[in-house]
Amino acid sequence: MNREMPSDERINWLDSGAFIALHLACILVIWAGISWVAVITLVITYAIRMFGITAGYHRYFSHRSFKTSRFFQFLLALLGTSAVQKGPLWWAAHHRHHHKHSDQEEDLHSPGQRGFWWAHVGWILCDKYKCAHMKLVKDLNKFPELKFLDRWHLIGPVSLALILLGLGSTLNHYFPHWGTSGFQLVVWGFIISTIVLYHGTFTVNSLTHMFGRKRFVTTDDSRNSFLISLVTLGEGWHNNHHRFPSSERQGFYWWEIDISHYTLRILSWLRLVWDLKTPPARVYANAKRTLFKRPSPEVREEAKAIKHHRENEQ
Ligand SMILES: [Zn+2]
Ligand SMILES: [Zn+2]
């Protein structure tokens, strides 16, 4: 069915300039060069910020799957902003909307409804989703410091770029034989790292609703993908996640690698986070039946009940 695309769903090339420019800026690597320090910086800035997105923006702010102090909540939000994916309220509101309508017409990034590119990146580049429905994040909106970070979300990225610039310049001064510089660390630790981080995160919206295994009957097309779980520190167990979104762990079994979960476990031993929610036994019971044979009528009934519950919540 052809439909006229509303103007607010067309790509706004002007407003997307910074996003596109950041992609093009990767070419600066020709002049920045490479060093071991640069590669290590890339890995660290990628991993820590991916944790900010998966553990912070996703598992904590969007799903409240564990508890923490107000101070650590602020740190998670600040870390999340450094990934250049806007503020915690914007991110969580859109993500809650995704769960409410996943793979249905209202879903903002469903590859089944609008195709791969729209789900991966198109929805971010249009005007329609620039603002989020704050009524979906009333629980977060009451914290002035979160509202502040949501409004001034560029504080994180700008601070990171300045830290990298300072670090690289200092290393260049004291250890010139390491072959690094402030410019080089900004290119590797901020520009390239952010682009890889973007597309790592976006695969959860696009590919994990297209390819992989479905362990659970859910009302959407979510899938489990081992590879995407490695890249995204555990977010690839997306069918698990859609089956029980409030679980802190997304790898539901010991063999499902979920690095964000291991990290949160360690943080819980340090009492920085607590009350990590886990999937109840009935969820695991469903998995066994759906893994080896066609879903039983009871499982299908449960899927209908989930859908009904989702339509009536909030
Ligand atoms: Zn999803
Ligand atoms: Zn989610």
What's the CA-to-centroid distance between 189 and ligand 1, angstroms? 28
Tell me what pLDDT residue 14 has.
77
Tell me what pLDDT residue 292 has.
46
Instruction: Report the number of secondary-structure helices (H) and strands (E) in the chain.
Output: 18, 2
Nearest ligand, CA 102 = 1
In contact, 168 and 184? CB cutoff 8 Å: yes
Q: Round to whole Å and give the CA distance between 152 and 247.
A: 30
What's the CA-to-centroid distance between 242 and ligand 2, angstroms? 7
What's the CA-to-centroid distance between 225 and ligand 1, angstroms? 12
What's the CA-to-centroid distance between 137 and ligand 2, angstroms? 14
- Per-residue pLDDT of 76-126, as tens digits, reads 999 999 999 999 999 999 999 999 999 888 898 999 989 999 999 999 998
- Per-residue pLDDT of 230-242, as tens digits, reads 999 999 999 999 9
What's the CA-to-centroid distance between 120 and ligand 2, angstroms? 15
Nearest ligand, CA 111 = 1
Q: Round to whole Å and give the CA distance between 191 and 240.
A: 32
What's the CA-to-centroid distance between 179 and ligand 1, angstroms? 42
Nearest ligand, CA 219 = 1
Nearest ligand, CA 58 = 2
Mean pLDDT score, 260-274: 98
pTM of the predicted model as reported, rounded to 2 decimal places: 0.90
Phi, psi values for residue 67, rounded to 5° = -115, 155
Nearest ligand, CA 109 = 1
Residues 6+ apart with CB under 8 A from 206: 109, 111, 116, 119, 120
Mean pLDDT of the chain: 91
Mean pLDDT score, 123-133: 88
pLDDT at 264 over 80: yes
What's the CA-to-centroid distance between 58 and ligand 2, angstroms? 6
- The full length of the chain comes to 314
Burial class (CB in 10 A: 0-12, 13-18, 19+), 291: exposed
Question: Which of 191, 206, 204 minimizes the C-alpha distance to 18?
Answer: 191
CA atoms within 13 Å, Cβ hemisphere of 3: 9
Mean pLDDT score, 212-232: 93
Question: Which of 210, 219, 238, 211 minimizes the C-alpha distance to 115?
Answer: 210
Q: Round to whole Å and give the CA distance between 205 and 192.
A: 21
Q: Round to whole Å and give the CA distance between 231 and 249.
A: 16
What's the CA-to-centroid distance between 171 and ligand 2, angstroms? 40
pLDDT-derived band at 132 (thresholds 50, 70, 90) equals confident
What's the CA-to-centroid distance between 120 and ligand 1, angstroms? 12
Tell me what pLDDT residue 295 has.
55
Q: Round to whole Å and give the CA distance between 221 and 102.
A: 8
